[in-house]
């Protein structure tokens, strides 16, 4: 299959569409152990989530205002940092999102096996 520049751009926009929302699940999951903005950014990018700092930092504050995260300033070290922790509500939301993710994954897996075994049938 030939991937020219147009399909590259199309693919990129579809990938972005697909990834949107995964950062929320990932952040809520990672922050079950407290973490600060930059550390979370590092963890996520190491785990393979492509997320920009200018998306993540405002997102953390939004999740906090929704009650899914709590925050506390840690001033023990030379550089004061704001640590975020997932709340019980945040955990519940993350669970629900992960369940949905798994369901979608199964459903898509089913679809692709179905279409590969019975092409053209309308069952």
83 binds other proteins (CB under 8 A): no
- CB nearer other proteins, residue 6 or residue 75: 75
52 binds other proteins (CB under 8 A): yes
20 binds other proteins (CB under 8 A): no
- CB nearer other proteins, residue 29 or residue 83: 83
Q: How far is the CB of 38 from other proteins (least distance, A)?
A: 4
6 binds other proteins (CB under 8 A): no
79 binds other proteins (CB under 8 A): yes
HEC assignment per residue over the chain:
CCCCHHHHHHHHHHHHHHHCCHHHHHHHHHCCCCEEHHHHHHHHHHCCCCCCHHHHHHHHHHHHHCCCEEEEEECCCCCCEEEEEECHHHHHHHHHHHHHHHHHHHHHHHHHHHHHHCCCCCC
61 binds other proteins (CB under 8 A): yes
Residues 22-41 that bind other proteins (CB under 8 A): 36-39, 41
Q: How far is the CB of 83 from other proteins (least distance, A)?
A: 11
The CA–CA distances, whole Å, from 69 to 16, 18, 60 equal 24, 24, 8
């Amino acid at each position: 299959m030939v991937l020219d520049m147009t399909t590259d751009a199309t693919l990129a926009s579809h990938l972005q569409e697909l990834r949107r929302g995964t950062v929320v699940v990932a952040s809520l999951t990672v922050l079950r152990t407290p973490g600060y903005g930059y550390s979370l950014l590092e963890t996520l990018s190491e785990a393979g989530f492509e997320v920009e700092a200018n998306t993540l930092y405002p997102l953390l504050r939004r999740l906090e205002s929704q009650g899914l995260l709590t925050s506390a300033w840690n001033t023990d070290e030379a550089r004061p940092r704001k640590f975020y922790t997932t709340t019980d509500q945040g955990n519940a939301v993350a669970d629900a999102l992960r369940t949905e993710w798994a369901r979608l994954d199964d459903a898509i897996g089913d679809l692709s096996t179905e279409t590969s075994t019975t092409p053209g049938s309308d069952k």
